[in-house]
Chains A and B, each alone.
Chain A
Amino acid sequence: AQTVTQSQPEMSVQEAETVTLSCTYDTSESDYYLFWYKQPPSRQMILVIRQEAYKQQNATENRFSVNFQKAAKSFSLKISDSQLGDAAMYFCAYRSAFKGGSEKLVFGKGTKLTVNP
């Protein structure tokens, strides 16, 4: 079974600075997808960024980028120019690429990000 580990229960960053959230995962599959979801106090789950395991190039979405190290099974999220609105729980998630198997998302336990003004 796949597992996702987020080793930082809480992180804080100053507004306008950069922060990196860690995520590692365990799988025996070679093809899969990785996601970062953001959950603000409103509870809504918002997709931040996704990465296909077969792509070597790291995904980027505006101020959000990932450092995907497939051999190390590491998938960290970098937030540049942090804004107050970035404060939220961040969840790393894994999804198998094998159709008909486990299309479910497996989540890490989350990292609570605080942005200080």
Chain B
Amino acid sequence: DTAVSQTPKYLVTQMGNDKSIKCEQNLGHDTMYWYKQDSKKFLKIMFSYNNKELIINETVPNRFSPKSPDKAHLNLHINSLELGDSAVYFCASSPAAVVNEKLFFGSGTQLSVL
């Protein structure tokens, strides 16, 4: 069973479109994250949710809107896509009670904006 699954794996779309990436974890974790990995492989936090509540928002444009319907899901909706949004987006989760626990990552969604 996949611990953190995100769909789709690949997403190719035109500028100006709206798209969503879904993420689900079956580990019972309280905290979920979205990271962006740019073309130079740099990984940067975008959002973090703890038990459906937003706790980290790292100055991401408001075209990006995370949605957490329950603590096992954290979806990412992107409006009016721009060329610079092309990147690999990783979902991750961790147990809130154990800070030294590793993050469990999904396999990433490669977004290409044409």
- Chain A residues close to B by CB (< 8 Å): 33, 35, 39, 42-45, 47, 50, 52, 89, 91, 95-99, 102-107, 109-110, 112
Identify which of residues 90-114 in chain B touch chain A, using a CB-to-CB cut-off of 8 Å: 90, 92, 94, 96, 99-100, 102-103, 105, 107-108, 110
Q: Which residues of A contact B31 (CB under 8 A)?
A: 103
A107 engages B43 (CB within 8 Å) = yes
A44 engages B102 (CB within 8 Å) = no
Q: Which residues of A contact B43 (CB under 8 A)?
A: 91, 105, 107, 110
B96 engages A43 (CB within 8 Å) = no
Q: Mark B1-35, 1 if CB is under 8 A from A, else 0.
A: 00000000000000000000000000000010100
Q: Does B54 contact A (CB under 8 A)?
A: no
Query: How distant is the Cα of A87 from the Cα of B108 in the complex, in angstroms?
Result: 19
In this complex, the member of B43, B48, B88 whose beta carbon has the largest number of chain A beta carbons within 10 angstroms is B43
Q: Which residues of B contact A107 (CB under 8 A)?
A: 42-44
B100 engages A89 (CB within 8 Å) = no
A103 engages B105 (CB within 8 Å) = no
A45 engages B96 (CB within 8 Å) = no
B94 engages A109 (CB within 8 Å) = no
B100 engages A33 (CB within 8 Å) = yes
* Shortest Cβ distance from residue B42 to the other chain A in the assembled complex, whole angstroms: 5
Query: Looking at the complex, which one of B41, B88, B90, B99 makes contact with A97 (CB distance below 8 Å)?
Result: B99
B99 engages A104 (CB within 8 Å) = no
User: Quick one: closest B residue to A48, CB to CB?
Assistant: B102
Q: Which residues of A contact B90 (CB under 8 A)?
A: 45
A89 engages B102 (CB within 8 Å) = no
Query: How distant is the Cα of A44 from the Cα of B92 in the complex, in angstroms?
Result: 11
Q: Which residues of B contact A98 (CB under 8 A)?
A: 99
Query: How distant is the Cα of A77 from the Cα of B45 in the complex, in angstroms?
Result: 23
A105 engages B103 (CB within 8 Å) = yes
Apart from A103-B94, A105-B103: 20 A-B pairs, beta carbons within 8 A: A39-B41, A42-B107, A43-B88, A44-B105, A45-B103, A89-B41, A91-B43, A96-B99, A98-B99, A99-B96, A99-B99, A103-B31, A104-B48, A104-B56, A104-B58, A105-B45, A106-B45, A107-B43, A109-B40, A110-B41
